[in-house]
Chain A
Amino acid sequence: MPLQQTVFIIIFAVSVFSFLFSCYQRLQLVAIGAPENRFDNPWARLLGVFSYAFAQRRVLARPYGFNHFLLFWAFIVLLLANAEFLIEGLISDFSLAALLPVALGHGLKLLFDIVSVVALGCVLVAFVRRLFFSPEYLGTDYTRPASGEALLILAMIATLMIAFFLLNAAHIALGQEVSWRPISSALAVLLQGLRGETLQGLAQVAWWIHALVLLLFMNFLPRSKHMHILTAIPNCYFKSLEKPNTQPRETFEKGARYGVSSVEQYSWKDLFDSLTCTECGRCQDLCPAHSTSKPLNPRKIVHDIKINLLKNGLARKEGATGSLPLIGAAKEGTICEEAIWSCTTCGACTSVCPALIEQMPKIVKLRRHLVQEKAQFPEELLNLFENMEQRSNPWGIAPSERTKWSGQLGDRTFKPGETEYLFFVGCAGAFDNRNKHVTVALATIMDAAGVSWGMLGKEEQCCGDSVRRLGNEFVFERMAKANVSLLKEKKVTKIVTQCPHCFNTLKNDYKQYGLEIEVLHHSQLIDQLAKTGRLKLHQQSGQGKVIFHDSCYLGRHNDTYEAPRAVLQAATGRLPGEFGRNRENGFCCGAGGGRMWLEEQSGSRINLERVKEAMAQQPDTLCVSCPYCMTMMEDGLKDLGLGDKVRVKDIAEVTAEALR
C-alpha cells in the first residue's frame, strides 16, 4: 500500500471518529430533553420533509433563498461526488465510472462539473452578500454578517470546488481522463504548457487540499451553525403537526413541574431546534418585539437555549445545578424576563423559519414556569389573572353586564337542538364599548341572511386565550374544562366568533379537551353567506381607500387570509389595499399573547409602527377583523393625531353598512 494511501486512511479514520463523536456528544445533549411524541403520522412528516427540506419552500420565500436552494441541491449532488472521491482515496484503483454504464458515468461527470461551478458561484454570491450587501437582520449581538465562522465555511466550500477543478484539470491535461467535464477541460487548456511532473504534483496537491478540507469541513459542521446541514432535514421531519401555537397541556398533580426553568425541561425537540438554527435572522427581521427595540429576539432565544445546553447540559443530566441560569440577567445563554414578557405570540418567527424551528412556544414554556412556579410576572397581570378567575373576563366587569349590548335584539338565547349557530360573543364583543358595535353589526348581518343563531348570554365565559398565552395554564385548564362541558351540555355543533382569539382557542386549543366542532370566524361565515347569495350586499364606495390588516390569530395561526379580503371585496366592490407586510409576513398589532393587558415599557410602540406602515398607503378606512387589532389601531391613529383622518372598522361593520 502506498504511503500516501496509508496516511490518508489514518487521517480519514481519525476524522470520521472525531465527527461521529461530536455528533454523539450533541445528540446526547438533545436526549436530556423531556419526552415528546414527534414520531406519529410518518407520511405527513415525509411530506413535510419533501416540501420544506427538499423543495426548500420557506427558504425560497425570500429572493436570496434561491442561492441557498442551488447550494443545497449542489451539496446533495456533490455528496455522491465526494463519496466517490473518498472511496478512491481509501481503495486503490476504485472507479465509480467503471461500475456504471458508460453513458451514466459520463453523465455524472458532466453533472458534477456543472454543479461544482454552480456551487462556486453561489459561494461567491454569498461572500459578496455577507461582505457588501448584508441585510440588517443577518447580524445580532452574538454574530455579524461577516463573522469569521460564516466566511470560513464559505472559504472551505470554495476551496473544495477549486481543488476539485484543479485536480480534474490536471488529470485531463495529463491525458489520464476522457473529458466529460467541460469546466475542468477549459481549465486544462490553461495547464497545457506545464510539464508532466508539474501536472502530477499539481494533481497531488489539489487532491490533498480537497481531501483535508473536506474532512475539516465535516468536523466543523457539528461544532458550528452549519450543524443545520445535518439537522435541518430531520427537523423538518419532526415538525409540529399541530399549530405550534397550540401548546401541549400540562398535568396538574402533586410534585409536578410546570413550564421550563432549566434547559433539560425543554422537550428533546426544543433542544434539537436549538442545534438546527442556521442564524439566518429571518425571525428576528419579522419579530414585532425586536423591530420595536424590545429585548426579545426569537433567534437569540434559540441561541441562548443552545449555549445553555452546551454549557449546562451534562451537569443537568447528572442532576447537578448548571453554572448558567436559563432565566436571569441577560447574557449569552441566559434569557431575561423582559424578553419573555415581550412576546406577542404573533407566530411570525415560527411561520418564517426555513428550518421549522418553533421559537414562540419556547417562550410560552418559560412563562408557564414564571407564572405557575414563581408567581413572578409584570404587575399588571395580577389584576388580569384575578379578573379572569373571579369574573371570567379580562376587565373584571360584572358577568351580569355580558348581555347589555343585546338589549334591543330581544331574547336570543341559544336553544339546544333548534339553533344552528352559537354566536360566541367573546369578552371584547360583550364588554368593550367600541367592539359592541362590531357585535351588533354581526348580529345584523346574520339576521339579514336568515342565519339561525343564539347566544349563551350570561352563561358565556371567557375562552381563556390570554391566560394560556401568558403561561397561566392552570387557570386556562379550569376555564377550558368549564367551557367545553357547557358547550357539550348545550349540544352546540357550530360556533361563530367575532374574535380571532376566541376562534383560535375554541377551534384549536379546545380540541385538547375533547371539543371538535365547527368553529368559524365571522369573516368565514360572512364570506360563505355572500358567496351563496344569502347575503345581499349593495356594494358601496363610501369607505374610500380601504386597507386590510391581518390578525395574527386569524392569518398565521389559522391560515385564513382570503376570507376577510373576499368579504371586503363583496362589500366595497374591490379588493382592499395591502400593507407592505401582509398575510404570512403580516405585522402584529402588539396585543396578542396577553400583551393587550401589559404596558409597553421599552422601545417604541408596536401599534404605532403598524399604523405608520398603514399610512404609507394613505388609506381612508383601515379594516381589521379582531377586537384587539381594533383597539391597537385606533389608539395608534389617535396617538399620531390621525384619529379623524382614518377610520378603523371591522369587516363586519363594513359589511353591515353594505346591507342598507
Chain B
Amino acid sequence: MLIISCIKQVPDTTQVKIDPVTNTLIRDGIPFIINPYDSHALEESLRLKDRYGMRTVALSMGPPNTVATLRKAYAIGVDEAILLTDRCFGGADTLATSKVLAAAIERLTQKEEVGIVFCGKQTIDGDTAQVGPGIASRLGFSQLTLVDRIESIDFLRKTIKVRRKLEGRHEIVEAPLPVMITVVRELNRPRYPVVAMRLEAEEKEIKVWDNSVLQLDVETVGLKGSPTWVSKIFSPERDQGEIIGDGISDPVGTASLLIDKLLSKDLLTV
C-alpha cells in the first residue's frame, strides 16, 4: 500500500513583505521552506512507514527549484520524490493545482494501491485549505480534514479511524480507504534528518513529471485553468492593543483579568 504526502515549497512568510504599489509579495531573496503543515503530513507518512512498512511518496507541484524541498523529504526518509513541473502548470489557483496533483496520484494508483494521501491543512502562503479537499473530490477518496491523531487502521476492512481537531472539541470519525487526510500541527513532531541520509538525499533521483507525462488539457491547468484572480493583497490595519492589570505586582490577579477579557471576546473556550 502506498502513502502519498503532498508537500508545497513556500516562501518563508515570516520574511515576506508586501509591495505596497503592486500589492504582490516581494519574494526576492526570500528563502523557501517546506510548508510547515506539510512537514507534519510528511512525518505522519513516515511514521506509518516505520510502523507498517508501507511505501511513501512525496509529491510536489512547483517550479524546478522545488527539488530542494523534495531533497529534504528524501533526507528524512521518503522512498520516492516526484516533482510535477511544467510551464503550463504555473500560476495555478487551488482548483488547477488539485487537478494536477490528482492526476499524478491517479497515475500512481495505476501501478500500486494508494491507501492514504496526506496534505497539510493549508499552506502558509495561500491559507486556502482547498487543495487537499480538491484532490479528494476529484479522486473520489474519503476526505478527513484537520486530523490530529490517527486512531487506528483496519487493513482487513480497509478503514481508518482518526481524530479531528475542531474548534473547542474533538471528533472521532471512521472512513473507508483510500482516504485524503489533511493534518494539523498537533498530529506529530516532525523528525530531524540524520547526516547520512542528508548526504544520500543529495544523490537520489527526483522524478520529474511534466505535462507530457500527465497529458492534461492545458486549458484546465495553470493560470488558464484558474478561475481565481487576486485583486489586492494588503496587511489589515490592526487595532491598538491595551495593557490590563499589573503583571509584576499582581500576577495572579492580572492573569484572571486577562482570562475574563479573552472569554468576553469569545477567544477562549471553557
Interface digits, A388-405 against B, CB 8 Å rule (1 contact, 0 not)? 001100001111100000
Please choose the segment from A193-201, A250-258, A303-311 that sits at the chain B interface, where 4 or more of its residues have CB less than 8 A away.
Answer: A250-258
Among residues of A, the one whose C-beta sits closest to the C-beta of B199 is A254
Given the complex of chains A and B, what is the CA–CA distance between A256 and B193 in angstroms?
A: 15
Report the nearest B residue to A638, measured CB to CB: B248
A-facing residues in B23-58 (Cβ within 8 Å): 31, 33
Knowing A398-B14, A398-B15, say if A474 contacts B189 (CB, 8 Å). no
Contact yes or no, B33 A390, CB < 8 A: yes
Question: Looking across the interface, which residue of chain A has its beta carbon closest to that of B15?
Answer: A398
The answer to whether the Cβ of B192 comes within 8 Å of any Cβ in the partner chain is yes
Whether B194 contacts A379 by the Cβ 8 Å rule is no
Contact with A along B179-210 (1 / 0, CB 8 A): 00000000001111111101110000000000
Asked whether, in the complex, the Cβ of B190 is within 8 Å of the Cβ of A375, the reply is no
Q: How far is the CB of A470 from chain B (nearest CB, A)?
A: 12
Size range of the chain A interface in the assembly = 20 to 34
- A474 to B197 CA separation, bound complex (whole angstroms): 12
- B contact residues around A396 at 8 Å (CB): 14
**Docked complex: A383-432 residues within 8 A CB-CB of B:** 385, 390-391, 396-400
Taking a contact as CB atoms under 8 Å apart, the answer to whether B194 and A375 are in contact is: yes
A252, B200: Cα distance in complex, Å: 11
Q: For B200, give the chain A residue with the smallest CB separation.
A: A254
Q: Is the CB of B192 within 8 A of A400?
A: no
Using A253-B199, A258-B195, A374-B194 as known contacts, say yes or no to A382 and B33 having CB atoms under 8 A apart: no
Q: B12 interface residue, CB < 8 Å from A?
A: yes
Within 8 A of B (CB), among A248-281: 252-256, 258
Q: Write out the residue numbers on chain B whose beta carbons fall within 8 Å of the beta carbon of A400.
A: 15, 17
- Take A379-B189, A382-B189, A382-B190 as given contacts and tell me if A391 and B12 are in contact as well, using a CB distance cutoff of 8 Å: yes
Among B17, B193, B196, max chain A CB count under 10 A is at B196
Q: Using a CB-CB cutoff of 8 Å, which residues 66-109 of chain B contact chain A?
A: none
Instruction: Give Cα A398–Cα B31 distance, bound, in whole angstroms.
Output: 10
Contacts of B194 in A (CB 8 A): 372-375
Contacts of B17 in A (CB 8 A): 400
- List the A side residues contacting B200 at CB < 8 Å: 254
Q: Judge whether B195 and A474 touch: CB under 8 Å.
A: yes
Determine the distance from Cα of A397 to Cα of B12 in the docked complex, in whole angstroms: 11
For residue A430, give the distance in angstroms from its CB to the closest CB of chain B: 15
Residues of A within 8 A of B195 (CB): 252, 258, 372-373, 474
CA distance A385 to B72 in the complex (A): 14
User: Shortest distance in angstroms between B190's beta carbon and chain A's nearest beta carbon?
Assistant: 7
Give Cα distance in the complex from A152 to B33, angstroms.
64
Q: Is the CB of A252 within 8 A of B199?
A: yes
Cα A379 to Cα B98 with chains together (Å) = 34
In whole Å, how far is A599's beta carbon from the nearest beta carbon of chain B?
16
> In whole angstroms, what is the CA distance A252 to B202 when docked?
12
Question: Which residues on the B side are within 8 Å of A397 (C-beta)?
Answer: 14
Apart from A372-B195, A375-B192: 17 A-B pairs, beta carbons within 8 A: A252-B195, A252-B199, A254-B199, A255-B196, A258-B195, A373-B195, A373-B196, A374-B194, A375-B191, A379-B189, A385-B192, A391-B14, A391-B15, A396-B14, A398-B12, A398-B14, A400-B15
List the 7 closest A-B pairs by CB distance, nearest first: A398-B15, A375-B192, A372-B195, A474-B195, A375-B194, A398-B14, A258-B195
Chain B residues at the A interface, C-beta cutoff of 8 Å: 12, 14-15, 17, 31, 33, 189-196, 198-200
A residues at B contact (CB < 8 Å): 252-256, 258, 371-375, 377, 379, 382, 385, 390-391, 396-400, 474
26 A–B contacts from the bound complex (CB under 8 Å)? A252-B195, A252-B199, A258-B195, A371-B192, A372-B194, A373-B194, A373-B195, A373-B196, A374-B194, A375-B194, A379-B189, A382-B189, A382-B190, A382-B192, A385-B192, A390-B12, A390-B31, A390-B33, A391-B14, A391-B15, A391-B31, A397-B14, A398-B12, A398-B14, A398-B15, A474-B198
